[in-house]
């Protein structure tokens, strides 16, 4: 199976969602079946495509081609995840009723990305698409999807769990069904545990520990998920695009993302500088007494600043460590209609060789 997965990352406000949608349109124009998934709750994708999007794939017609798009509900995704993780209905209920989960479950950093990756596994494996494009959450958080599975596995490693269960015991909880692990607890750990339970209170510790017990019960499914996510992230059919814009902050984020991705053996395929402004042809010189002189001068000044900013961005990108990524730029499109912007960007993307179906990762 040769479905390509494109993971689009970049700082906030660089036009990631629009670029992702434009990528989908570009592939559709090449006759490829494409699906765009956004985890951005901002509905930018729906806006750009001019349709309502739901959790399930919606067929979208744009610029004479068809593509699919969908938008997982990030606030509900954690609940769906719980449903998936625990096969046993009683366990699901215990987890959902756990005060810790109820109050703080959706604050689980990184879990949204993890869930979206788990969910798109189905799309990638369905064979229904040639290209699946994942528009990730803005900013550097996108990379949490790499680290979170690992963190969870570490936390679920037996020792940590035993420690937690021990904590609950110290707090007075009688989790009878657990085998006696007291031998494993050194005095020091007990002291640390006693302190922690003093800090957060007995009830809280019991609730946390109960949640951990459930997590351990679902350990096999966790491991399978982590393994499949890791395989997917490192697959040769998975490609990474870093999006930037000509501003200092966006370029900082792009530099960070490029180097982090490279360290994670997931070199970006391309770095796209969005919203660039070309240097303009010579501006018409008006007579100083011309009534239009003011407005033309003012526009010229702004245009020159934007052009200079673009130049600076290109220079900055040249100083990035060489990752082997193609560097591409997309122009700022002045159209007010989001669909027009999308089609204009797709036009530019169509000319990029790294998007070619035969191009290697």
Partner 1 sequence: MADPRIYLVTGKGGVGKSTVAAALALRQARSSGASVLVEVEDGRAAVRALRGESKVRVMTVTHAAAMQNAITRLLHTRILAKAIVKQRSIARLLDTVPAIRELVVLEEVRAIAQEFPNASVVVDLPATGHAVDFLRVPAAAKRFLHSGPAAKMCDDILAQVLNPGSSAIFVVSTFETVVAQETRELCERLKNELGFPATSIVMNRAPKAVDPHALAQLTERAVHTPALRPIEEIARARAAACQEAENSRGILAGFAPVVTVPEYFADPSAADLVGELSW
For 336, the token pair is 């007010």
Query: Count of residues for the chain?
Result: 361
Our measurement of the distance from residue 270's CA atom to the centroid of its chain's CA atoms, rounded to an integer in Å, reads 16
Taking CB under 8 A as the criterion, the residue among 21, 40, 81, 213 binding partner 1 is 40
163 contributes a contact to partner 1 by CB under 8 A = yes
Q: Residues with Cβ < 8 Å from 200, sequence gap 6 or more?
A: 208
284 contributes a contact to partner 1 by CB under 8 A = yes
280 contributes a contact to partner 1 by CB under 8 A = yes
151 contributes a contact to partner 1 by CB under 8 A = yes
47 contributes a contact to partner 1 by CB under 8 A = yes
How many residues bind partner 1 (CB under 8 A)? The answer is: 71
Place of tokens 């797709």: 346
274 contributes a contact to partner 1 by CB under 8 A = no
40 is catalytic: yes
268 contributes a contact to partner 1 by CB under 8 A = no
Minimum gap (Å) between residue 47 Cβ and partner 1: 6
Taking CB under 8 A as the criterion, the residue among 221, 234, 294, 361 binding partner 1 is 294
Taking CB under 8 A as the criterion, the residue among 336, 351, 358, 360 binding partner 1 is 336
311 contributes a contact to partner 1 by CB under 8 A = no
189 contributes a contact to partner 1 by CB under 8 A = yes
Minimum gap (Å) between residue 31 Cβ and partner 1: 31
155 contributes a contact to partner 1 by CB under 8 A = yes
Minimum gap (Å) between residue 264 Cβ and partner 1: 18
> Cα–Cα distance between 326 and 315 in angstroms, integer?
15
Task: Give the strand order in the sheet containing 238-244.
Answer: 58-62, 65-70, 34-38, 131-135, 4-10, 238-244, 268-276, 326-331
Catalytic pick from 40, 131, 135, 253?
40
184 contributes a contact to partner 1 by CB under 8 A = no
Taking CB under 8 A as the criterion, the residue among 82, 208, 226, 233 binding partner 1 is 208
100 contributes a contact to partner 1 by CB under 8 A = yes
Taking CB under 8 A as the criterion, the residue among 252, 320, 347, 354 binding partner 1 is 252
Taking CB under 8 A as the criterion, the residue among 66, 126, 160, 227 binding partner 1 is 160
Would you say 29 or 169 has its CB closer to partner 1?
A: 169
331 contributes a contact to partner 1 by CB under 8 A = no
Instruction: Map the footprint of partner 1 across residues 102-141, applying CB under 8 A.
Output: 103-109, 137-141
Instruction: Map the footprint of partner 1 across residues 5-24, applying CB under 8 A.
Output: 11-14
278 contributes a contact to partner 1 by CB under 8 A = no
Would you say 79 or 106 has its CB closer to partner 1?
A: 106
Would you say 228 or 247 has its CB closer to partner 1?
A: 247
Catalytic sites, residue numbers: 40
């Amino acid at each position: 199976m040769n479905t390509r997965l494109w993971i689009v990352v970049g700082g906030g406000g660089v036009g990631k969602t629009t670029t992702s949608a434009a990528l989908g349109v570009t592939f559709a124009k090449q006759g490829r079946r494409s699906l765009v998934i956004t985890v951005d709750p901002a509905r930018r994708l729906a806006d750009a495509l001019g349709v309502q999007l739901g959790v399930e794939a919606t067929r979208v017609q744009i610029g004479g081609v068809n593509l699919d798009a969908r938008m997982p509900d990030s606030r509900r995704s954690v609940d769906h995840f719980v449903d998936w993780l625990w096969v046993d209905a009683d366990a699901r209920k215990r987890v959902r009723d756990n005060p810790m989960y109820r109050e703080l479950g959706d604050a689980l950093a990184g879990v949204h990305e993890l869930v979206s990756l788990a969910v798109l596994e189905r799309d990638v494996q369905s064979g229904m698409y040639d290209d699946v494009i994942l528009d990730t959450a803005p900013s550097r958080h996108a990379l949490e999807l790499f680290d979170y599975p690992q963190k969870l596995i570490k936390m679920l490693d037996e020792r940590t769990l035993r420690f937690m269960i021990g904590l609950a015991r110290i707090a007075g909880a009688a989790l009878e069904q657990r085998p006696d692990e007291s031998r494993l607890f050194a005095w020091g750990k007990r002291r640390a545990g006693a302190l922690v339970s003093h800090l957060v209170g007995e009830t809280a510790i019991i609730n946390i520990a109960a949640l951990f017990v459930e997590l351990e019960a679902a350990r096999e499914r966790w491991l399978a998920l982590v393994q499949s996510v890791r395989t997917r992230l490192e697959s040769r059919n998975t490609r990474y695009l870093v999006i930037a814009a000509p501003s200092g902050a966006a370029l900082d984020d792009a530099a960070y993302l490029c180097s982090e991705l490279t360290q994670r053996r997931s070199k970006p395929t391309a770095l796209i500088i969005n919203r660039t402004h070309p240097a303009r042809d010579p501006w018409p010189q008006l007579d100083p007494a011309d009534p239009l002189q003011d407005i033309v001068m003012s526009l010229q000044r702004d245009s020159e600043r934007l052009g200079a900013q673009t130049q600076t961005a290109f220079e900055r990108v040249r100083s990035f460590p060489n990752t082997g990524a193609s560097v591409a730029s997309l122009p700022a499109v002045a159209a007010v209609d989001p669909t027009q912007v999308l089609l204009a960007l797709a036009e530019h993307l169509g000319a990029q060789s790294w998007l070619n179906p035969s191009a290697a990762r």
